[in-house]
Amino acid sequence: MTRMAATRDGYGQALLDLADNEKVVVLEADLGKSTKSLHFRKSYPDRTISCGIGEQNMLLVGAGMAASGYIPFASTFAIFTERAFEQMRNGIARPNLAVHLCGSHGGTHTGTDGSSAQSIEDLAVFRTLPNVVVMHPCDDVSTRVLTTQLPALGKPSYMRTARNKTPVLYDGRENEIQIGKGITLKEGSDVAIVACGVLVSESLKAAEALAEQGINATVVDMHTLKPIDGALIDTIVARCGALVTAEDHNVIGGLGSAVAEHLVANNFAPLEMVGVPDRFGESGQADEMLEVMQISAHYIALAAKKAISRK
């Protein structure tokens, strides 16, 4: 039986892992129970700064602490990180201060709260900022490992986590996970599916369905969108000659765009992009939302066949 867990739980665990470093501080904007920074708060209240429901202030408090030698981890819902975009831009990215921002409850997979809470543009907007590393891991293990690697990064980051549970893929495989390096979960030579976040497990399902039809797919977990792992893209283009990207994010500006930018500049191959079709979400269960948005395994498999047909 596959273990199920939410990536936000991996984030909460990672903060505890990092606590031995006395320079690590946690900043909250009233959503620590949801983003899972609450565990750190309970154990280390002196190093947890409540910023109330004030995301703009939270990010720049983080900037001031980073400039004073601390390593701040700030979190809120992904959607609310967006209202502090300019603080991230002017106060953090521009002076290259290593504030680590985590946006939980990203994507339409967040579910029944509806469109106001379903960030579908966070990865795109933060990807445009110089100096900022952008990640969207797919399970609690990789979220935990990537988060614990952040203090060594020395530059700002944005990580999206998800509210709901997804299959755990990396139990016992912690050593394979590294910021900036995509992970090949399955090797096939007909088509390569490059996914992030909750759509990684959907892509594995799609690959199983394709295998039953005699199509062998490569599946890559591209947990880091920026910097994108161009060497791995080159490898799968050479092996497969056709690509699909899959993300619970607007099809504009996210993982698909990052892969496309690499392809057009380096190694052209047909690319089909599975993502939220430039529309807002609505209330629904997580699995229902993947169907409504046409980003579930079924749609990924269809896109794979279309990409192959364009070879």
In the complex, the residues that contact other proteins under the rule CB under 8 A are: 25, 46-47, 49-52, 54, 56-57, 59-70, 72, 86-87, 90-91, 94-96
Q: How far is the CB of 150 from other proteins (least distance, A)?
A: 18
Who contacts 126 (Cβ-Cβ below 8 Å, separation ≥6)?
Answer: 81, 85, 88, 101, 132, 134, 158
| Nearer to other proteins (CB atom), residue 65 or residue 217 | 65
List, in sequence order, every residue forming a beta bridge with 159; answer none if it has no partner: 102, 135
Q: How far is the CB of 93 from other proteins (least distance, A)?
A: 10
Distance from the first to the final alpha carbon of the chain = 38
- Please tell me whether residue 7 adopts helix, strand or coil conformation: helix
Q: How far is the CB of 86 from other proteins (least distance, A)?
A: 6
| Nearer to other proteins (CB atom), residue 61 or residue 274 | 61
Catalytic site residue from 22, 28, 55, 288:
55
Q: How far is the CB of 25 from other proteins (least distance, A)?
A: 7
Q: How far is the CB of 77 from other proteins (least distance, A)?
A: 17
| Closest to 139 (Cα-Cα) out of 121, 172, 161 | 161
Q: Are strands 71-77 and 100-104 parallel, antiparallel or unpaired?
A: parallel
Q: Alpha carbon of 28 to those of 38, 73, 99, 119, 202: distances in Å?
A: 9, 9, 13, 19, 32
| Nearer to other proteins (CB atom), residue 22 or residue 174 | 22
* Catalytic residue check, 272: no
| Nearer to other proteins (CB atom), residue 73 or residue 170 | 73
| Nearer to other proteins (CB atom), residue 47 or residue 155 | 47
- The rounded distance, in Å, linking the Cα atoms of 148 and 265 is 33
Peptide bond into 45 cis (omega under 30): no
Q: What is the DSSP-derived secondary structure letter of residue 70?
A: -
Cβ atoms 266, 272 nearer than 8 A: no
Residue-level length of the chain: 311
Active site residues: 55
